[in-house]
């Protein structure tokens, strides 16, 4: 005889795609390094003002640079 209080607890196992997370993290790290390098932020301590003059990737990654918080204007 059922009184309507029969409830089941279902435990769902979530498997994260580790390879995809690692690949995306590597892409993020490389892109952040490339933009910081191009913008001069990474090497300005060592090279000085000359690091800010060589913006080879500036226009190619302009919007991404703003999204990551690197100033450019």
What is residue 19's predicted lDDT score, i.e. its pLDDT? 93
Are 60 and 35 within 8 A, CB to CB? no
For 2-55, how does the pLDDT look when each residue is reduced to its tens digit (9 = 90+)?
A: 566 778 888 878 788 999 999 999 999 998 887 777 777 777 777 777 777 766
Q: Which residue has the higher pLDDT, 40 or 69?
A: 69
Whether the model pTM is above 0.75: no
Separate counts of helices (H) and strands (E) for the chain? 3, 0
């Amino acid at each position: 005889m059922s009184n309507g209080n029969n409830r089941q607890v279902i435990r769902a196992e979530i498997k994260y795609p580790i390879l995809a997370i690692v690949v995306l993290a590597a892409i993020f790290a490389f892109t952040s390094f490339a933009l910081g390098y191009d913008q001069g932020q990474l090497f300005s301590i060592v090279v000085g003002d000359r690091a800010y003059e060589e913006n080879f990737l500036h226009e190619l990654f302009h919007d991404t640079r703003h999204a990551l918080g690197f100033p450019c204007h």
